[in-house]
Amino acid sequence: MRTVAASVLATFVAAASAFAQAGGVASISGTVHDPSGSAVPNAKVVVSSASKGEIRSVLTNEAAVFSAPALVPGAGYELTLTASGFAPYDLKDISLRVGQNLDLNIGVAVAQTTTEVEVSAAAQLIDDARTDVSQAVGQEQINNLPINGRRVDSFVP
């Protein structure tokens, strides 16, 4: 009786092991490099599938290698990669088959930097067609002129 139970248990363990090796799952792995071919470590890689409700978030190691194992096979996966100083990378409609390891070699572009300067100041209006100088003179200014007789018209040419 014990040998039968042991053999049944061994059969179940072997079957489970064989199923795991047969790969009822799939995986996505790869490397990330910049335009010069250098590794991009610590890049955030998110593998997601809305239809399967799966979201895996991994970081690339020092050699810029990432791996998202044990994914449910099927279509509709999306891979999004973000790294500091680099433009985001997005790969959509990935299909995975049973036992497949999708190996990607991802090249990311350097992010574009933009500088925006906004100047908002009202410029003083200048009339460049007139060359003379004029000013309105009020009655108080006329009364306070240091002239004999208070005749303003003597100043007009």
Q: Distance (Å, rounded) from C-alpha 78 to C-alpha 75?
A: 9
* Coil, strand or helix at 29: strand
Question: Is 11 a residue whose pLDDT tops 50?
Answer: no
Span 44-62, mean pLDDT? 95
**Domains, the chain, with CATH or none:** 23-145 (2.60.40.1120)
Q: Are 71 and 94 in contact (CB under 8 A)?
A: no
pLDDT 10s digits, 111-126:
887 777 777 666 666 6
Taking the CA atoms of residue 59, residue 63, residue 69 and residue 72 in that order, the dihedral angle to the nearest 10 degrees is: 70
For position 45, what pLDDT does the model report?
97
Name the token pair of 18.
């064989």
Q: Distance (Å, rounded) from C-alpha 97 to C-alpha 82?
A: 26
Query: What is the reported pTM?
Result: 0.58
